[in-house]
Structure 1
Amino acid sequence: MTGLYTEFYKEILDSNGDIKDISFSYGRNFNFAYDIVDRYALEEPEKIALIHKSTDGKVRKFSFAELKRLSDKAANMLIDLGIGKKDSVMLLLKRRFEFWICILALHKLGAVAIPTSHMVSATDIAERLVLSGAKAVICVNSDDICHKVSDAIKDAEDKAKDKEKIEQIVVGEKFNSALMFDKLLEKASDKLLRVETSVDNDMLYYFTSGTNGAPKAVIHDYSYPLSHIYTAKNWHGASCDGVHLTVADSGWAKSAWGKLYGQWLVGTAVLVYDYEQFYAWDILQLLQEEKVTSFCAPPTIYKYLVLEDFSKYDLSSLKQVTTAGEPMPIEVSQKFTEKTGLIIREGFGQTETALLICTPVGKEQISGSIGLASPLYDIRLVDEAGKEVPDGSEGEIVIFPKDKSKKPLGIFKGYLGDETLYQEIWDGGIYHTRDRAIKDKDGNIFFLGRNDDVIKSSGYRIGPSEVEDVIMLHPAVFECAVTGFPSKNRGTLVKASIILNKEYEPSQQLSNEIQDFVRERVALYKYPRKICFVKELPRTTNGKISRAQIRKMDYHQK
């Protein structure tokens, strides 16, 4: 049996054999959990879906039949708790295998999953619970996660208008009076009647950073999984009965790109490693032991991998390697190719979208390029007036709908509670990525940076105002601006340029104090790793702080 994707997906080729368009065929009630996972369970019950390596090194393999049974039980568990269609549930499970069971269960109920990183703060969690109206949080008892969730639930319940109880369901060791996932799952029935859903229903809320205000919730519907067939097949190079590893936490959209939808549609097994501490040698050993055939990781991971002695590992099963999230240093990709003979192919997209641009399997990776436009979309570069720019000229990456009567497959359906922002993104009837690039005559696209000021650091998106708001709470700070600062290892560091109140003097001690202050209040990846005390901040003609000018000065200094 080949991957089930062939029933939904058809490539239309040009005279050169290149894909010029892709057509999809699916019913109004398509549901990934029922129509893909349960279908495999029926027709190939022993086919391996998930290979999970735990923090203590234990490897467990889940067949599609087992995932069906467990997700049916989890769905019934949630029904018993009063959770059903259109309700939302936050998942804060790191890389635990229970994440896959829970997200499939939520899909089966027609509910909304909110994958969330364990790195967010209690304040972040509370804000997201209030905005989404989540009925429960399923979290792993690891580090301080349960404490953060417990505090966040109390805060959210106090702020919520309906004062409805939010359940905390814990995976792992018992935590206070929280419900225990394993016990609830054990008691639940494994007989589940299909819940009718529509492809238009909300399926996922992903919170992503913007330049102003709190993070926004990106809404994806039940058609979204199909958009990742191209991601898995043509970019990752995943193969039926192969093994694919994407290095990403379950709380990020990159996990949906590489650890779930497209991979299972193509028919490859997903490998998950629930490590606590990253070690390059450990990943290389995993690639060898599990005979990984396709691998995707951010450039930061590759930077550490190339420092290892590859002669110690048998990577003969590995056929395809890809990267995304930040610019790939040329010297790193060259070293990786020298050591493995494999070429790292780049890709680009957003939390709001599926894969937009990539160097597909069989195409040459042009140095410095993020690849070619995906045939799923009509992608162009335009100027500020929305007019397409000529080859070699800088422009914003935008998407023109091929069919103006509906949104393109894989593009989000809205920002939760913020229709105004959604309309801004679709200004003029085209989707604005707010990312800038240059395209050459052959269609290769070269990424330049953001239109706005969102910082991309080690694959994470960070809204500067989120960090600025916290820094401004420190008594020493008069004014500040947060920007991205060039970093060889991380691509970009979070930098804070700070004007102090008159009674304070710059010092390393004060710098450390401010960093600790922020670190305690935001997700770890958001705190400023570089602090610069200044007398004044550059401003635009209308008096606003010019983050762009700060970045420009830092770039030239580097």
Structure 2
Amino acid sequence: MSEIYEDYYKEITGKNGEIIKIETSVTPHFNFAYDVMDRLALENPDGTAMVHVSAEGARTVFSYADIKRLTDKAANAFMSLGINRHDSVMLLLKRRYEFWISILALHKIGAVAIPTSHMVSSEDIEERIKISGCKAVICVNSEHICKKVADAVDKFDVVKIAVGEKYEDFIEFSGLLEGAAANLFRITTDAEDDMLYYFTSGTSGSPKAVIHDFSYPIAHIYTAKKWHGIKKGGLHLTVADSGWAKTAWGKLYGQWFLGASILVYDYEQFYAADLLKLISEEGVNTFCAPPTVYKYLILEKINDFNLNNLCYVTTAGEPMPKEVSAKFTEKTGLVIREGFGQTETALQICTPEDGVQVPGSIGRPSPLYNIALLDDAGNLAKPGEEGEIVIIPDSERRPIGIFKGYLGDEKQYEEVWRGGVYHTKDKAIGDQKGNFFFLGRGDDVIKSSGYRIGPSEVEDILMKHPAVFECAVTGFPSKNRGNVVKASIILKKGYEASQKLITELQDFVKKRAAIYKYPRIIKFVDDLPRSSSGKISRAMIRKQDEANVG
């Protein structure tokens, strides 16, 4: 019997067994919740779909049959509230297992899910409701989330559903589920229907909603199979909040396509030792986390934990400092393989499970896409030259996994597709062997006295200094140079800010990079501004600096 993913995904290999192309197949009414999850429930009802561990240590195991039963009930419950096909529903559920039940139930209805970070403000929620016209909000009753929702929906006719303890006039999720019918007849949806709205903030203006359709999950088969290295029956852990697109990458579609189990760690506050303990006790096979998590992991006594079941580790979201990666490998023997993509896309570039991770590289283009680097004139960048990462379609059809639009903003969508090419606005350099080295967002690249400086290169050098725990390099306005290099630095425990340390750090960079790249300004900070997805926001630093200069 063939594996489920094989009905939608085929690797075309070359003479040496390397993947040269991936062919995908999308049936007209493909729906991941029915065609993958319900099929898993039929073929392997007792198989473990998800292991959920709460902050208090409560462990709940869901079989594939459990997932089908609960999502059928949730779908019926939502429809009883008037939520139907094409309606949109906002989810602010952190890492509660109800997120997975809710999003799959919305898929079954043909409704649009809006995964949202719990870190957003009531104003952010209100803005998202205006743009999406969402019909309901499902939120967890913790950290004032329900209050923020209540304040935001005051002006709208929106159904409010609370997970956890009862909150004011919100409908209780548990009671709603309990009273719902368990039998659900398949609702016809189209593969090109809107399935997800992911709100992503630019450097200015209101957040824009990225639209993914029902074919999107198929693009993550490669993510799970060749990047994460997932095997059938394995246990995978991705560290991500359910409001981030990284959940779609690592805690939902590709992993279940491969018949693996998903581990969800619903922590309140992150402690590296607790995460290592969980990986050890649950026997995690594959692991993915942003670079910041690895920065904390290497500070722990990793050898005190049994990581024998851990086969592959990966990272994405922001540049991985070479020093952090090297120390993790030194302590565990495992090589962190990098990847690159966007909320608007699936995985674009990575070092696959059978590839060699080149230090500092984000990998090679995924065989799903025709990826190139274009210079400012629109020509192919030569090896060693800076270029923008672009996706060039092989046909008139939009490549699978690439978003279908920005909600209500056709002009901006046309702009990123100008010339028939998808422009990521991210800069990189390629080498002779096809490896890509990330420089930063186009607006993150620092232009100083005619030079162009990639912030990640300077950050990588600073991270090698024993005093530096985390840093962000940005351009600071200068009358004479356009911009000068500025480093905002969080120090490790035991180090104190001083002019002597500033000079030491500047000299440290001068010895390891071209003289024009050293940070002329160094500011020691307790924390760095971050986006709702947890990434360091250089844009916020620049905005603060520009306001102060102005």
Question: Would you call these one fold, judging by a TM-score over 0.5?
Answer: yes
Alpha-carbon spacing, 1:414–1:242, altered in 2? closer, same or farther (3 Å): same
Q: Corresponding residue for 1:421? A: 412
* AA partner of residue 47 (structure 1): G
Tell me the TM-score normalized by structure 1: 0.82
Counterpart AA for 2:107: H
Alpha carbons of 1:393 and 1:248: their partners in 2 closer, same or farther (altered >3 Å)? same
- Written as runs of structure 1 = structure 2, the 5 A alignment for 1:402-551 is 402-404=394-396, 406-453=397-444, 488=463, 489-492=469-472, 536=549
1:60, 1:497 → 2: CA distance?
Answer: 52
Q: CA deviation at 1:211?
A: 2.5
For each residue in 1:41-65, what CA deviation from the matched residue of structure 2 results, as whole angstroms up to 9, or x when unmatched? 0111001111100121011110110
State the SS of the aligned residue for 2:426.
strand
Work out the CA distance in 2 between the residues paired with 1:17 and 1:373: 17
Is 1:183 aligned to residue 164 of structure 2? no
Shift of 1:490: 4.5
The equivalent residue for 1:348 is 340
TM-score in terms of structure 2 length:
0.84
Matched, 1:219 2:211: yes
- 1:392 is matched with 384
* Contact 1:3 1:240 survives alignment (8 Å): no
CA contact (8 A) 1:232 1:263 kept: yes
Rounded to whole Å, the distance in 2 between the matches of 1:454 and 1:36 is 42
1:137 alignment counterpart: 137
8 Å Cα contact 2:244/2:533 also seen in 1: no
CA RMSD, 1 decimal: 2.6
Give the Cα–Cα distance (whole angstroms) in 1 for the partners of residues 21 and 278 of structure 2.
36
In structure 2, the partner of 1:98 is: 98
Aligned to 1:72: 72
Match for residue 230 of structure 2 among 232, 238, 241: 238
Instruction: Tell me the distance in 1 between the aligned counterparts of 2:404 and 2:547.
Output: 42
Provide the rounded CA distance (Å) in 2 between the counterparts of 1:264 and 1:2.
15
Q: Which residue identity does 1:67 align to in structure 2?
A: I
Relative to 1, partners in 2 of residues 1:375 and 1:533: Cα closer, same or farther, differing over 3 Å? closer
Query: Aligned with 1:272: secondary structure?
Result: strand
Deviation per residue, 1:126-161 (Å, 9 max, x gap): 000110000000000001100001001114x2xxxx
Inter-CA distance 201–454: structure 2 relative to 1 (3 Å threshold): farther
d(CA) in 2 for partners of 1:374, 1:245: 22
CA distance in 2, matches of 1:338, 1:523: 29
8 Å Cα contact 1:494-1:528 kept in structure 2: no
Q: CA deviation at 1:7?
A: 1.7
SS state of the match for residue 198, structure 1? Answer: coil
- Of residues 234, 252, 264, the one that matches 1:260 is 252
In the alignment, what sits opposite 1:8? Answer: 8
What residue is the counterpart of 2:107 in the other structure?
A: 107
Q: Secondary structure at the match of 2:356?
A: coil
Q: Hey, what's the Cα distance between the residues in 2 that align with 1:318 and 1:265?
A: 20
| In 2, Cα distance between equivalents of 1:493 and 1:114 | 32
Alignment of 1:26-175 (within 5 A): 26-155=26-155, 157=156, 165-175=157-167
1:511 is aligned to none
Q: Is the 8 A contact 1:327 1:491 kept in 2?
A: no
1:212: Cα distance to partner?
2.6
Partner of 1:160: none
Structure 1 residues not aligned, in runs of 5+:
158-164, 456-482, 499-514, 538-558
380-389 vs 485-494, greater mean Cα deviation: 485-494
Aligned partner letter, 2:97: F
* Structure-2 separation of matches of 1:453 and 1:132: 29
Q: Given the superposition, is the C-alpha separation of residues 494 and 282 from structure 1 closer, same or farther in structure 2, using an over 3 Å criterion?
A: farther
Q: Secondary structure at the match of 2:278?
A: helix
What secondary structure is seen at the aligned counterpart in 1 of 2:73? helix
1:255-288 per-residue CA deviation (whole Å, 9 max, x = no partner) reads 0000000000011101000000111110100101
How far apart are 1:532 and its partner, in Å?
5.4
Instruction: Indicate if the aligned counterparts of 2:46 and 2:63 stay in contact, CA closer than 8 A.
Output: yes
Secondary structure of the corresponding residue to residue 210 of structure 1:
coil
Give the match's secondary structure for 1:177.
Answer: coil
Name the aligned partner's letter for residue 44 of structure 1: N
Q: Secondary structure at the match of 1:322?
A: strand
The answer (yes or no) to whether the contact 1:116–1:251 under 8 Å persists in 2 is yes
Alignment partner, residue 339 of structure 1: 331
Structure 2: how far apart are the matches of 1:533 and 1:430? 33
Q: CA deviation at 1:451?
A: 1.2
- Residue identity opposite 1:89 in structure 2: V
Residue type of the partner of 1:71? T
The code of the aligned residue for 1:238 comes to I
1:25: Cα distance to partner?
Answer: 2.0
Deviations 1:274-318 (A, max 9, x none): 000111110100101110000000111001101111221110000
Question: 1:277, 1:535 → 2: CA distance?
Answer: 33
Contact residue 243 and residue 533 of structure 2 kept, 8 A? no
Q: 1:408 offset after TM fit, Å?
A: 0.2
The answer for unaligned runs of 5 or more in structure 2 is 447-454, 464-468, 479-524
- C-alpha deviation, 1:215, in angstroms: 1.0
